């Protein structure tokens, strides 16, 4: 029934996690409570981490958990709870521009799907994927990709300096 | 390299999984129970010149089961305006983070749950998940004190996660690996200036990192002097105020089990973990270690864990609480610069030698 190069277990795992992620992503925009939306976003981000594990990319998966769930979402929830986070449904959460937003989102989805398909469409996961060790990744970052790494560091530094400038009004 | 080799039998996958789950339960609940009885009941009582529980069992040693039974049979109540689903979910997230944490701790040459390449990094990542549970516990309780406690906890845990990560970087540089098992081997197979009868426990070479790590652990566990999130004189009981019965029990177990697991990780990173210096028995690599270390190793790690928890609790019962601004200043202006300097010095020495 299946060709021998189709990875059944991985595909089933991918399908389950992807379904959870799609449902979570839809609930992020349809739920009527800010904190619930943030928690559904956590589900989506955790799903992404699970997909990375499925691709044998443990370092990226751990980074996803550390950065997005442990820091970004916590700060997001922190900010929401400091300002406005009522319990129960809120009626004024829907943006009136959703009419324009949905076509843009769909166009972005199609463009990214096409880019991925033309870029990697013919490639297949090896049956026994080699785990990219942290050492290999760091060798790559501090070798051929050193310049982009530095550029990113400067972007982050600029953001930190900007935050200090905004916070200090003296 | 699994528990199955420990039992010298080729177990099927489901049996291995069952063993791992049981091992995880023991590794989480046994330290939690020991810590609560030994330190929370007996040591605190001793420091406050009283006896503590004495009635249930010899020296009150059965008191723990009585307490658990009391919590389990209590009515499951929640505030009328609470967000019920999230209210129930929050303690489970905190406990799940503890169980995820114990997975990478090595207990012996073969007594490990998983030989994880980026073990330290994983431990730091999953320990940060508990913040999420604490934050939404405070929010879902529909109580201003709870919300304040949750917010304080989030601010504190985020601030002290950074020095913790940075303190561990020194160990990772010195060991040259993020695998906790390899870190244990590197400490016990190593030598200090050619003197190998003690191995090379990083508590000596990474003393600054050890101190910063232990202070950060104290803050991550929200133990006094860092217990602003549950400050009982200001916030009733912080994010736990509305929790009672078995939901409070889950938070309680989570707190002390995490104390145990963090102490195990501290022992592995700085105190040599489950092993004794390899030169004592003429071992050279991890493969030449005798099989009995799989039984003695967990006991050694447990002893080291108890010693580390003793210091955590000693400080907890001795010092008053920080003020909120002092807490943040201490993390950002003292601990982070110190740990950054530690990383620089370690890196320079690593390259120089």
How far is residue B190's CA from residue B222's CA, in Å, rounded to a whole number? 35
B114 touches chain A (CB under 8 A): no
C-alpha angle B313/A78/B121, rounded to 5°?
60
Element (DSSP H or E) covering residue A74: helix A73-83
- Residue A56's pLDDT is what? 80
Q: Which residue did the predictor score with more confidence, B196 or A59?
A: A59
Q: In terms of C-beta density within 10 A (0-12 exposed, 13-18 middle, 19 or more buried), how is residue A169 classed?
A: exposed
Residue A1 has pLDDT above 50, yes or no: no
- What is the model's pLDDT at position A138? 83
Q: What gap in Å lies between CA A63 and CA B252, rounded to an integer?
A: 29
B195 or A2: which carries more pLDDT confidence? Answer: B195
Determine, for residues A66 and B118 on separate chains, whether the beta-carbon distance falls below 8 Å: no
Mutate to test the interface with B, among A87, A136, A139, A160 (most CBs of B within 10 A): A87
Contact between A78 and B154 using a beta-carbon 8 Å cutoff: yes
For B334, the token pair is: 């003292």
**Hey, how many other C-beta atoms are within 10 angstroms of the C-beta on B173?**
17
Residue B329 contacts A where some CB pair is shorter than 8 Å: no
Residue A151 has pLDDT above 90, yes or no: yes
3-state secondary structure of B21: helix
Task: List Cβ neighbours of B230 (8 Å cut-off, separation of 6 or more).
Answer: B149, B222, B237, B238, B239, B240
- Inter-chain residue contact A69 with B129, CB threshold 8 Å: yes
**DSSP letter string, B139-200:** HHTT-HHHHHHHHHHHHHHHHHHHHHHHHHHHHHHHHT---HHHHHHHHHH--BTTB-TT--
Q: Which residues of A touch B161 (CB under 8 A)?
A: 70
- The H or E element containing residue A167 is helix A146-167
Task: Give how far A62 is from chain B: nearest CA, Å.
Answer: 6
Q: In the structure, what pLDDT confidence band is assigned to residue A155 with cuts at 50, 70 and 90?
A: very high
Rounded CA separation A61/A72 (Å): 15
What pLDDT was estimated at residue B5?
A: 52
Residue range B91-110: average pLDDT? Answer: 87
Residue B342 makes CB contacts below 8 A (sequence gap 6+) with B166, B167, B170, B206, B208, B209, B212
- The span from the first CA to the last CA of chain B, in angstroms, equals 32
d(CA A72, CA A74): 5
Q: How close does chain B come to A147, measured CA to CA in Å?
A: 22
Q: Å from A10 to nearest chain B CA?
A: 18
B76-97 pLDDT tens trace: 888 888 788 888 888 999 888 8
- Beta-carbon separation of A134 and B121 below 8 A: yes
Please give the biggest Cα pair distance in chain B.
67
Tell me: pLDDT of A66 over 70.
yes
Find chain A residues with C-beta within 8 A of B82's C-beta.
87
Q: Is B81 on the interface with A (CB under 8 A)?
A: yes
pLDDT digits (tens, 9 = 90+) for B305-326: 999 999 998 988 888 888 878 8
Helix H, strand E, coil C: the string for chain B is: CCHHHHCCCCCCHHHHHHHHHHHHHHHHHHHHHHHHHHHHHHHHHHHCCCCCCCCCCHHHCCHHHHHHHHHHCCCCCCCCCCCHHHHHHHHHHHHHHHHHHHCCCCCCCCCCCCCCCCHHHHHHHHHCHHHHHHHHHHHHCCCHHHHHHHHHHHHHHHHHHHHHHHHHHHHHHHHCCCCHHHHHHHHHHCCECCECCCCCCHHHHCHHHHHHHHHHHHHHCCCCCCCHHHCHHHHCCHHHCCCCHHHHHHHHHHHHHHHHHHHHHHHHHHCCCCCCCHHHCCCCCHHHCCCCHHHHHHHHHHHHHHHHHHHHHHHHHHCCCCCHHHHHHHHHHHHHHHHHHHHHHHHHHHHHC
CB spacing of B125 vs A73 below 8 angstroms: no
pLDDT surpasses 60 at A3: no
pTM for the whole thing? 0.85
> pLDDT confidence of A170, banded at 50, 70, 90?
low
* pLDDT above 90 for A44: yes
Cα(first)–Cα(last) distance of chain A, in Å? 72
Percent of chain B with pLDDT over 70: 95
* A contacts of B144 (beta carbons < 8 Å): none
Task: Decide if pLDDT at A2 tops 60.
Answer: no
Task: Give the residue from chain A lying closest to B117, CA to CA.
Answer: A133
Residue of B89, B96, B121, B173 to mutate, testing the A interface (most A Cβ within 10 Å of its Cβ): B121
Q: Which of B100, B132, B142 to mutate to test the interface with A (most CBs of A within 10 A)?
A: B132
Question: Which among A33, A71, A131 has the least Cβ separation from residue B128?
Answer: A71
In chain B, the residue whose alpha carbon lies closest to the alpha carbon of A134 is: B118
More confident residue, B254 or B289: B254
What is this model's ipTM? Answer: 0.80
Could B135 and A78 be called an inter-chain contact, meaning their C-beta atoms sit closer than 8 Å? yes
Are B167 and B216 spatial neighbours (Cβ–Cβ below 8 Å)? yes
In degrees and rounded to multiples of 5, residue A57 shows phi and psi of -110, 75
B30 reaches A (C-beta below 8 A): no
Interatomic CA distance for residues A75 and A64, integer angstroms: 15
Shortest CA gap A160–chain B (Å) = 14
pLDDT at B188: 81
Closest residue in chain B to residue A64, using alpha carbons only = B125
Query: What's the average model confidence in pLDDT over B51-72?
Result: 84
Cβ within 8 Å of residue B59, ≥6 positions away: B42
| pLDDT score recorded for residue A158 | 94
CB contact under 8 A, A81 and B135: yes
Contacts of A58 in chain B (CB under 8 A): 116-118, 122
For residues A16 and B177, what is the distance between their CA atoms, to the nearest angstrom? Answer: 34
């Amino acid at each position: 029934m299946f060709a021998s190069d189709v990875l059944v277990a991985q595909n089933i795992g991918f399908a389950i996690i992807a379904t959870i992620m799609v449902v979570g992503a839809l609930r992020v925009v349809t739920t009527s409570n800010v904190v619930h939306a943030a928690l559904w976003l956590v589900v989506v981000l955790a799903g992404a981490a699970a997909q990375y594990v499925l691709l044998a990319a443990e370092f990226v998966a751990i980074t996803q958990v550390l950065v997005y769930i442990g820091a970004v979402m916590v700060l997001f929830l922190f900010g929401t709870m400091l300002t406005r986070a009522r319990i129960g449904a809120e009626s004024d959460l829907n943006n009136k521009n959703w009419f324009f937003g949905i076509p843009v989102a769909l166009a972005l989805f199609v463009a990214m799907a096409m880019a991925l398909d033309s870029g990697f469409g013919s490639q297949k996961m090896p049956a026994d994927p080699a785990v990219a060790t942290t050492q290999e990744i760091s060798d790559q970052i501090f070798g051929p990709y050193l310049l982009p790494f530095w550029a990113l560091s400067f972007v982050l530094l600029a953001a930190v300096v900007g935050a200090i400038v905004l916070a200090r009004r003296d | 390299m699994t528990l199955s080799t420990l039992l010298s039998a080729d177990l099927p996958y489901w049996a291995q999984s069952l063993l791992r789950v049981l091992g995880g339960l023991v590794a989480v609940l046994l330290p939690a129970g020991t810590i609560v009885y030994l330190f929370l009941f007996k040591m605190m009582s001793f420091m406050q010149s009283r006896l503590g529980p004495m009635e249930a069992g010899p020296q009150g040693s059965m008191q723990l089961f009585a307490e658990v039974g009391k919590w389990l049979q209590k009515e499951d109540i929640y505030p009328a305006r609470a967000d019920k689903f999230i209210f129930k979910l929050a303690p489970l997230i905190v406990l799940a983070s503890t169980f995820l944490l114990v997975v990478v701790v090595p207990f012996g040459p073969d007594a490990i749950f998983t030989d994880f390449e980026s073990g330290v990094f994983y431990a730091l990542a999953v320990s940060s998940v508990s913040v999420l549970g604490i934050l939404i516990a405070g929010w879902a309780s529909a109580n201003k004190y709870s919300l304040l406690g949750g917010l304080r906890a989030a601010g504190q845990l985020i601030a002290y996660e950074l020095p913790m990560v940075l303190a561990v970087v020194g160990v990772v540089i010195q060991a040259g690996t993020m695998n906790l098992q390899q870190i244990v081997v590197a400490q016990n197979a190593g030598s200090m200036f050619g003197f190998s009868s003690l191995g090379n426990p990083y508590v000596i070479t990474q003393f600054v990192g050890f101190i910063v790590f232990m202070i950060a652990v104290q803050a991550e566990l929200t133990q006094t002097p860092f217990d602003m999130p549950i400050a009982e004189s200001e916030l009733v009981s912080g994010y736990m105020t509305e929790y009672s019965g078995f939901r409070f029990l889950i938070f309680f177990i989570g707190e002390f089990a995490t104390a145990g697991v963090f102490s195990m990780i501290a022992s592995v990173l700085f105190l040599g973990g489950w092993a004794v210096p390899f030169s004592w028995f003429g071992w050279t690599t991890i493969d030449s270690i005798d099989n009995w270390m799989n039984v003695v190793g967990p006991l050694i790690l447990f002893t080291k864990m108890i010693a580390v928890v003793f210091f955590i609790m000693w400080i907890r019962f001795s010092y008053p609480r920080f003020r909120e601004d002092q807490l943040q200043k201490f993390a950002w202006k003292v601990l982070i610069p110190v740990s950054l300097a530690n990383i620089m010095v370690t890196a320079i020495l690593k390259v120089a030698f």
